């Protein structure tokens, strides 16, 4: 999967070494900055640094020198970055600069899980090309237990304060600050909310979204859950509610878990700070902790998802996040076969493209196969019973590693309600498939390990028929 032959065209992957969580996503001076968990000389997650890449268009990335390296405080785990526009910290002169908040992780046998985690700060005066660690780190000390990491820092306009969201065991803890250096604990969220496993919560994100078609807004809290023993592995959940600058109030039932992705491979999702136009722009690690260290690799291991926009939409079940791909795909990336709109497909015909969007009607009791190029059997099978749309997600691999096969191969279902036509938007790349159904309300992100790494999705009825109402061959921003 991670040989040079299989290197993705449109997804970011490091030149060499191991990569996992995106962190420190920030837009500054015409560049999108992508920092990431990085082990430059290892393929299984050795000593973790902050890798660094920049892009002007979210499609073409330039990998820069390592931003943060381990020191006596420990490894450099995940976190966030912001622009200090007003020199709040006093680190800068008349020009704004970049701040990076990260977790220092080191062994500590006296702690419950054998390590200690503290929150630290670094700053850059040269557009992120070099970094200075704050001399008085840590800025938030350990509360006395091991799992305490991944600081997400935002500005809360209504109370004129900086907020830090921290993953603390199986909760998210909120802190406030006036100067980005001195932090005060405010509240904890999550002990009896959402989905819990035997693994601690990770990689929080906190932001406000306007409700589409309304003047109202809500706050979204995103939380990752790592490699639990249950079959699904790592996944990302989110909460919809309100944040008053001190505490987060969930507006859904406390035991309701909302998944950001129904596939197996969208984790550690983070959004860009300071993004132009105020759009909420996210990125995730396209992998799963159940098998991440066993994905076939030679020179590098790990890739990011395609960046996406988030919106908030009203549904019969309540307010839900919807997603859309935001990168402009080149016109030579592959388009539809020569099909017109308003045609009927049956079992003898199909339509496909590397990336695109379809709006189609599917008859009740029909079956439709979606096949990723290079696989021998359908990867997804759609069926309809009234308003209920079932997506059977199948995945196999050509890898000869028995332990990888055991965790990677699967057959399960995602179900959503859609009264009318079905929209489907997708991006394929070497060994990956990302799908959005129902105007982005349902997301399915998958690694696809084949012996012929393809970039093509074929749509073909198995029984019954589908009517193609609209097609678009290239994604546009």
Note the pLDDT tens digit of each residue in 366-391: 888 888 876 667 788 999 988 899 99
Distance of alpha carbon 256 from alpha carbon 155, whole angstroms: 28
Distance of alpha carbon 179 from alpha carbon 404, whole angstroms: 47
**Which of 15-24, 27-36, 307-316, 401-410 shows the lowest mean pLDDT across its residues?**
401-410
**Per-residue pLDDT reduced to its tens digit, 79-103:** 999 999 999 999 999 899 999 999 9
With a cut of 50, say whether residue 475 has pLDDT above it.
no
Residue 332: pLDDT band (50, 70, 90) is very low
With a cut of 50, say whether residue 358 has pLDDT above it.
yes
Residue 338: pLDDT band (50, 70, 90) is very low
Distance of alpha carbon 389 from alpha carbon 404, whole angstroms: 30
**Per-residue pLDDT reduced to its tens digit, 62-74:** 999 999 999 999 9
User: Would you state the pLDDT for residue 56?
Assistant: 95
Highest-pLDDT range among 27-36, 324-333, 335-344, 394-403: 27-36
Contact 266, 20 (CB under 8 A): no
Place of tokens 């592995």: 233
User: Would you state the pLDDT for residue 442?
Assistant: 96
Distance of alpha carbon 409 from alpha carbon 8, whole angstroms: 21
Residue 453: pLDDT band (50, 70, 90) is low
Phi, psi (degrees; rounded to nearest 5) at 404:
-65, -45
Sign of CA dihedral 341, 345, 351, 357: positive
**Per-residue pLDDT reduced to its tens digit, 102-144:** 999 999 999 999 999 999 999 999 999 999 999 999 999 999 9
User: Would you state the pLDDT for residue 290?
Assistant: 92
308 CB-side CA count, 13 A: 30
User: Would you state the pLDDT for residue 333?
Assistant: 44
Distance of alpha carbon 142 from alpha carbon 168, whole angstroms: 10
User: Would you state the pLDDT for residue 363?
Assistant: 82
The better pLDDT of the pair 135, 406 is held by 135
Query: Is 150 a residue of the active site?
Result: no
With a cut of 70, say whether residue 164 has pLDDT above it.
yes
Show the tokens assigned to 221: 């809290």
Which one of the listed residues 21, 84, 438, 439 is annotated catalytic?
21
User: Would you state the pLDDT for residue 282?
Assistant: 98
What size, in residues, is the chain?
477
Residue 340: pLDDT band (50, 70, 90) is low
User: Would you state the pLDDT for residue 473?
Assistant: 54
**Per-residue pLDDT reduced to its tens digit, 258-287:** 999 999 999 999 999 999 988 999 999 999
Place of tokens 């991440």: 292
Place of tokens 């678009």: 472
Cα 12 to its chain centre, rounded Å, is 13
**Which of 12-26, 162-176, 244-258, 391-405 shows the lowest mean pLDDT across its residues?**
391-405
Contact 233, 227 (CB under 8 A): yes
Rounded (5°) CA angle 45-50-118: 90
The better pLDDT of the pair 277, 36 is held by 36
- Across all residues in the chain, what is the average pLDDT? 90
Q: What are the angstrom distances between the C-alpha of 130 and each of 20, 98, 100, 188, 245?
A: 22, 10, 12, 34, 32
User: For the chain, what percent of residues have pLDDT higher than 90?
Assistant: 68
Contact 213, 226 (CB under 8 A): no
Distance of alpha carbon 236 from alpha carbon 227, whole angstroms: 11
**Per-residue pLDDT reduced to its tens digit, 209-232:** 999 999 999 999 999 998 776 668
User: For the chain, what percent of residues have pLDDT higher than 70?
Assistant: 92
**Per-residue pLDDT reduced to its tens digit, 136-156:** 999 999 999 999 999 999 999
User: Would you state the pLDDT for residue 346?
Assistant: 82
Q: What are the angstrom distances between the C-alpha of 60 and each of 2, 73, 240, 306, 317?
A: 19, 34, 33, 12, 38
Q: Which long-range contacts (CB under 8 A, 24 or more apart) does 30-36 make?
A: 30/56, 31/55, 31/56, 31/127, 31/128, 32/56, 32/58, 32/272, 33/81, 33/98, 33/128, 34/61, 34/283, 34/304, 35/67, 35/68, 35/81, 35/100, 36/304
Which residues, 6+ apart, have CB-to-CB distance to 132 below 8 Å? 91, 122, 123, 124, 125
């Amino acid at each position: 999967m991670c040989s040079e032959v299989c290197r993705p065209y449109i997804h970011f992957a490091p030149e060499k070494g191991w990569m996992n969580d995106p962190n420190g996503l920030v837009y500054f001076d015409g560049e999108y900055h992508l920092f990431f968990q990085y082990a430059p000389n290892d393929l299984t997650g050795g000593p973790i640094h902050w890798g660094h890449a920049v892009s002007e268009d979210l499609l073409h990335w330039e990998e820069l020198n390592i931003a943060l390296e381990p020191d006596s405080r420990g490894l450099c785990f995940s976190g966030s970055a912001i622009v200090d526009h007003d020199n709040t910290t006093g680190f800068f002169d008349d020009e704004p600069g970049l701040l990076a908040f990260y977790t220092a992780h080191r062994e500590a046998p006296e702690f419950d899980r054998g390590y200690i985690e503290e929150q630290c700060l670094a700053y850059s005066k040269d557009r992120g090309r070099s970094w200075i660690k704050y001399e008085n780190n840590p800025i938030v000390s350990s509360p006395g237990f091991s799992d305490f990491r991944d600081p997400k820092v935002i500005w809360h306009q209504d109370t004129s304060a900086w907020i830090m969201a921290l993953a603390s065991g199986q909760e998210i803890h909120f802190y406030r600050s006036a100067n980005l250096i001195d932090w005060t604990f405010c509240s904890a969220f999550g002990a009896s909310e959402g989905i819990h496993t035997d693994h601690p919560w990770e990689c929080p994100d906190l932001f406000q979204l306007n409700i589409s078609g309304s003047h109202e807004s809500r706050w979204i809290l995103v939380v990752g859950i790592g490699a639990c023993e249950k079959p699904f592995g790592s996944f990302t959940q989110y909460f919809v509610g309100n944040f008053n600058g001190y505490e987060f109030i969930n507006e859904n039932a406390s035991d309701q878990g909302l998944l950001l992705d129904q596939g197996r491979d969208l984790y550690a999702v983070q959004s860009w700070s300071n993004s132009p136009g105020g759009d909420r722009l996210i990125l995730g690690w396209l992998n799963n902790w159940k098998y991440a260290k066993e994905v076939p690799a030679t020179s590098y291991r790990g890739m990011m998802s395609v960046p996406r926009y988030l919106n908030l939409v009203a549904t019969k079940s309540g307010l839900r996040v919807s997603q859309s791909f935001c990168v402009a795909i080149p016109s030579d990336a592959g388009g539809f076969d020569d099909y017109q709109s308003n045609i009927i497909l049956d079992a003898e015909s199909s339509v496909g493209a590397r990336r695109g969007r379809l709006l189609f009607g599917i008859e009740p009791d029909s079956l439709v196969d979606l096949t990723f190029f290079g696989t021998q059997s359908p990867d997804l099978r759609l069926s309809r019973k009234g308003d209920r749309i079932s997506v059977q997600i199948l995945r196999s691999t050509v890898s000869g590693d028995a332990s990888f096969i055991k965790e990677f191969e699967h057959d399960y279902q995602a179900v959503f309600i859609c009264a009318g036509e079905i929209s489907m938007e997708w991006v394929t790349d070497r060994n990956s498939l990302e799908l959005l159904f129902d105007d982005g309300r349902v997301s399915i992100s998958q690694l696809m390990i084949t012996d012929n790494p393809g970039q093509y999705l074929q749509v073909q009825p198995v029984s019954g028929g589908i009517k193609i109402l609209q097609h678009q061959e290239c994604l546009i921003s």
